[in-house]
Chains A and B, each alone.
Chain A
Amino acid sequence: DARVTQTPRHKVTEMGQEVTMRCQPILGHNTVFWYRQTMMQGLELLAYFRNRAPLDDSGMPKDRFSAEMPDATLATLKIQPSEPRDSAVYFCASGRAAWEQYFGPGTRLTVT
Protein backbone atom coordinates (compact mmCIF):
# COMPACT_ATOMS: atom_id res chain seq x y z
CA ASP A 1 0.00 0.00 0.00
CA ALA A 2 1.95 3.01 -1.29
CA ARG A 3 1.82 6.11 0.90
CA VAL A 4 3.33 9.54 1.11
CA THR A 5 5.75 9.72 4.02
CA GLN A 6 6.70 12.83 5.94
CA THR A 7 9.38 13.45 8.53
CA PRO A 8 9.46 14.51 11.25
CA ARG A 9 5.90 13.87 12.41
CA HIS A 10 6.26 16.37 15.24
CA LYS A 11 8.66 19.24 15.70
CA VAL A 12 8.96 21.70 18.56
CA THR A 13 11.48 24.47 18.11
CA GLU A 14 12.29 27.91 19.38
CA MET A 15 11.65 31.07 17.46
CA GLY A 16 14.52 31.92 15.14
CA GLN A 17 15.58 28.33 14.53
CA GLU A 18 15.67 26.68 11.13
CA VAL A 19 13.11 23.97 10.43
CA THR A 20 13.33 21.46 7.61
CA MET A 21 10.44 19.17 6.75
CA ARG A 22 10.82 16.27 4.35
CA CYS A 23 8.41 14.40 2.14
CA GLN A 24 8.79 11.24 0.12
CA PRO A 25 6.11 11.14 -2.59
CA ILE A 26 4.56 7.91 -3.79
CA LEU A 27 6.80 6.24 -6.35
CA GLY A 28 5.74 7.24 -9.85
CA HIS A 29 3.95 10.41 -8.79
CA ASN A 30 5.33 13.46 -10.56
CA THR A 31 3.29 16.18 -8.86
CA VAL A 32 4.00 17.27 -5.30
CA PHE A 33 2.13 19.79 -3.19
CA TRP A 34 2.90 21.46 0.16
CA TYR A 35 0.00 22.66 2.31
CA ARG A 36 -0.28 24.29 5.71
CA GLN A 37 -3.33 23.78 7.93
CA THR A 38 -4.36 25.92 10.88
CA MET A 39 -7.64 26.35 12.69
CA MET A 40 -7.88 29.97 11.59
CA GLN A 41 -6.85 29.70 7.94
CA GLY A 42 -7.76 26.12 7.11
CA LEU A 43 -5.79 24.29 4.43
CA GLU A 44 -3.58 26.64 2.40
CA LEU A 45 -1.53 25.72 -0.65
CA LEU A 46 2.08 26.81 -0.19
CA ALA A 47 3.78 25.37 -3.27
CA TYR A 48 3.57 22.68 -5.90
CA PHE A 49 6.00 20.93 -8.19
CA ARG A 50 5.62 18.97 -11.38
CA ASN A 51 8.46 16.78 -12.56
CA ARG A 52 10.56 18.40 -9.79
CA ALA A 53 10.09 21.90 -11.23
CA PRO A 54 8.33 24.48 -9.06
CA LEU A 55 5.14 25.58 -10.78
CA ASP A 56 3.75 27.90 -8.15
CA ASP A 57 4.99 29.01 -4.76
CA SER A 58 2.89 32.15 -4.50
CA GLY A 59 1.29 30.88 -1.29
CA MET A 60 4.61 30.86 0.53
CA PRO A 61 6.09 33.74 2.56
CA LYS A 62 9.14 34.23 0.35
CA ASP A 63 11.37 35.83 2.92
CA ARG A 64 11.50 32.81 5.21
CA PHE A 65 10.11 29.78 3.39
CA SER A 66 11.71 27.76 0.64
CA ALA A 67 10.68 24.55 -1.09
CA GLU A 68 12.81 22.25 -3.22
CA MET A 69 12.83 18.83 -4.84
CA PRO A 70 16.45 17.66 -4.90
CA ASP A 71 15.31 14.46 -6.61
CA ALA A 72 12.12 12.64 -7.52
CA THR A 73 11.96 10.85 -4.18
CA LEU A 74 12.42 13.84 -1.89
CA ALA A 75 10.68 17.19 -1.41
CA THR A 76 11.74 19.62 1.30
CA LEU A 77 10.14 22.63 2.93
CA LYS A 78 12.41 24.87 4.93
CA ILE A 79 11.59 27.74 7.28
CA GLN A 80 14.40 30.06 8.31
CA PRO A 81 14.01 31.77 10.70
CA SER A 82 10.90 30.22 12.23
CA GLU A 83 8.29 32.30 14.03
CA PRO A 84 5.43 31.36 16.41
CA ARG A 85 2.89 32.16 13.67
CA ASP A 86 4.39 29.32 11.62
CA SER A 87 2.94 26.81 14.10
CA ALA A 88 0.66 24.56 12.06
CA VAL A 89 0.36 21.13 10.50
CA TYR A 90 2.26 20.94 7.23
CA PHE A 91 1.02 18.39 4.70
CA CYS A 92 2.72 17.07 1.64
CA ALA A 93 0.60 15.49 -1.10
CA SER A 94 1.58 13.73 -4.30
CA GLY A 95 -0.21 12.57 -7.43
CA ARG A 96 0.10 11.61 -11.08
CA ALA A 97 -1.91 14.67 -12.05
CA ALA A 98 -3.12 17.89 -10.50
CA TRP A 99 -6.54 16.44 -9.77
CA GLU A 100 -5.11 13.51 -7.83
CA GLN A 101 -3.68 14.33 -4.42
CA TYR A 102 -2.71 11.74 -1.84
CA PHE A 103 -1.83 13.39 1.44
CA GLY A 104 0.91 12.39 3.81
CA PRO A 105 0.37 12.18 7.58
CA GLY A 106 1.64 15.71 8.14
CA THR A 107 4.28 17.38 10.29
CA ARG A 108 2.93 19.14 13.35
CA LEU A 109 5.18 22.15 13.94
CA THR A 110 5.19 24.16 17.15
CA VAL A 111 7.36 27.26 17.35
CA THR A 112 7.73 28.69 20.84
Chain B
Amino acid sequence: QKEVEQNSGPLSVPEGAIASLNCTYSDRGSQSFFWYRQYSGKSPELIMSIYSNGDKEDGRFTAQVDKSSKYISLFIRDSQPSDSATYLCAVMVRSFKTIFGAGTRLFVKA
Protein backbone atom coordinates (compact mmCIF):
# COMPACT_ATOMS: atom_id res chain seq x y z
CA GLN B 1 0.00 0.00 0.00
CA LYS B 2 1.30 3.43 -0.94
CA GLU B 3 1.63 5.96 1.85
CA VAL B 4 -0.62 8.44 0.02
CA GLU B 5 -3.21 7.18 -2.44
CA GLN B 6 -4.95 9.45 -4.91
CA ASN B 7 -7.19 8.74 -7.90
CA SER B 8 -5.41 9.91 -11.05
CA GLY B 9 -8.66 10.88 -12.78
CA PRO B 10 -9.27 12.66 -15.02
CA LEU B 11 -12.07 14.41 -13.22
CA SER B 12 -14.21 16.53 -15.49
CA VAL B 13 -16.65 19.15 -14.17
CA PRO B 14 -18.60 21.93 -15.89
CA GLU B 15 -17.72 25.54 -15.26
CA GLY B 16 -19.38 26.83 -12.10
CA ALA B 17 -19.73 23.41 -10.49
CA ILE B 18 -18.00 22.14 -7.35
CA ALA B 19 -14.95 19.99 -7.98
CA SER B 20 -14.28 17.38 -5.31
CA LEU B 21 -10.83 15.80 -4.97
CA ASN B 22 -9.63 13.43 -2.31
CA CYS B 23 -6.92 11.09 -1.16
CA THR B 24 -6.15 8.69 1.65
CA TYR B 25 -3.00 8.23 3.69
CA SER B 26 -1.66 5.39 5.77
CA ASP B 27 0.46 6.93 8.57
CA ARG B 28 -1.88 7.53 11.50
CA GLY B 29 0.69 9.83 13.08
CA SER B 30 0.56 12.34 10.22
CA GLN B 31 -0.12 15.88 11.41
CA SER B 32 0.20 18.15 8.39
CA PHE B 33 -1.66 17.97 5.11
CA PHE B 34 -1.30 19.94 1.89
CA TRP B 35 -2.81 20.45 -1.52
CA TYR B 36 -0.65 21.53 -4.43
CA ARG B 37 -1.72 22.56 -7.90
CA GLN B 38 0.48 21.77 -10.90
CA TYR B 39 -0.22 23.13 -14.35
CA SER B 40 1.09 21.12 -17.28
CA GLY B 41 4.82 21.66 -17.69
CA LYS B 42 5.06 23.75 -14.52
CA SER B 43 6.15 23.14 -10.95
CA PRO B 44 3.81 22.34 -8.03
CA GLU B 45 2.36 25.32 -6.20
CA LEU B 46 1.00 25.15 -2.65
CA ILE B 47 -2.66 26.18 -2.51
CA MET B 48 -3.84 24.86 0.88
CA SER B 49 -2.28 23.61 4.09
CA ILE B 50 -4.22 22.18 7.02
CA TYR B 51 -2.85 20.97 10.32
CA SER B 52 -5.85 19.71 12.26
CA ASN B 53 -9.00 17.70 11.87
CA GLY B 54 -11.85 19.56 10.22
CA ASP B 55 -12.23 22.16 7.52
CA LYS B 56 -10.23 25.11 6.30
CA GLU B 57 -11.57 27.60 3.79
CA ASP B 58 -9.61 29.98 1.58
CA GLY B 59 -11.58 31.76 -1.10
CA ARG B 60 -13.10 29.18 -3.42
CA PHE B 61 -11.07 26.37 -1.87
CA THR B 62 -12.03 24.24 1.14
CA ALA B 63 -9.74 21.55 2.52
CA GLN B 64 -11.01 18.84 4.85
CA VAL B 65 -9.16 16.35 7.00
CA ASP B 66 -10.73 13.33 8.70
CA LYS B 67 -7.98 11.72 10.73
CA SER B 68 -10.20 8.87 11.94
CA SER B 69 -10.57 7.61 8.40
CA LYS B 70 -7.24 9.03 7.16
CA TYR B 71 -9.03 10.91 4.41
CA ILE B 72 -8.22 14.30 2.89
CA SER B 73 -10.47 16.30 0.58
CA LEU B 74 -10.30 19.48 -1.47
CA PHE B 75 -13.39 21.22 -2.75
CA ILE B 76 -13.24 23.92 -5.40
CA ARG B 77 -16.39 26.02 -5.62
CA ASP B 78 -17.45 27.83 -8.77
CA SER B 79 -14.87 25.95 -10.81
CA GLN B 80 -13.24 27.90 -13.61
CA PRO B 81 -11.42 26.67 -16.73
CA SER B 82 -8.27 28.18 -15.18
CA ASP B 83 -8.60 25.61 -12.38
CA SER B 84 -7.81 22.85 -14.90
CA ALA B 85 -4.60 21.31 -13.60
CA THR B 86 -3.27 18.35 -11.68
CA TYR B 87 -3.92 18.52 -7.94
CA LEU B 88 -1.46 16.77 -5.65
CA CYS B 89 -2.26 15.95 -2.06
CA ALA B 90 0.69 15.69 0.29
CA VAL B 91 1.16 14.44 3.82
CA MET B 92 4.00 15.20 6.20
CA VAL B 93 4.64 11.78 7.72
CA ARG B 94 7.41 12.90 10.08
CA SER B 95 9.41 16.03 10.59
CA PHE B 96 10.43 17.41 7.19
CA LYS B 97 9.44 14.38 5.14
CA THR B 98 6.48 15.03 2.83
CA ILE B 99 4.93 12.27 0.74
CA PHE B 100 2.94 13.25 -2.34
CA GLY B 101 0.04 11.49 -3.96
CA ALA B 102 0.17 10.69 -7.66
CA GLY B 103 -2.12 13.64 -8.47
CA THR B 104 -5.63 13.97 -9.89
CA ARG B 105 -6.08 15.67 -13.25
CA LEU B 106 -8.98 18.10 -13.20
CA PHE B 107 -10.67 19.44 -16.33
CA VAL B 108 -13.16 22.28 -16.02
CA LYS B 109 -15.26 22.58 -19.16
CA ALA B 110 -16.37 26.04 -20.25
Contacts and interface: CB of A to CB of B under 8 A. Distances in A.
Size class of B's contact patch? Answer: 20 to 34
Interface stretch (B9-17, B67-75, B77-85, B88-96): B88-96
A43 B46 CA distance: 14
Nearest to A50: B96
B110 to A, nearest CB: 27
A56 interface: yes
B46 A31 contact: no
Given A43-B88, A105-B43, A48 B102 contact: no
Interface of A: 31, 33, 42-45, 48, 50, 55-56, 91, 98-106
Given A102-B46, A103-B44, A105-B42, 14 more contacts: A42-B88, A42-B103, A43-B88, A43-B103, A45-B98, A48-B97, A55-B96, A56-B96, A56-B97, A98-B95, A99-B49, A101-B98, A103-B43, A105-B43
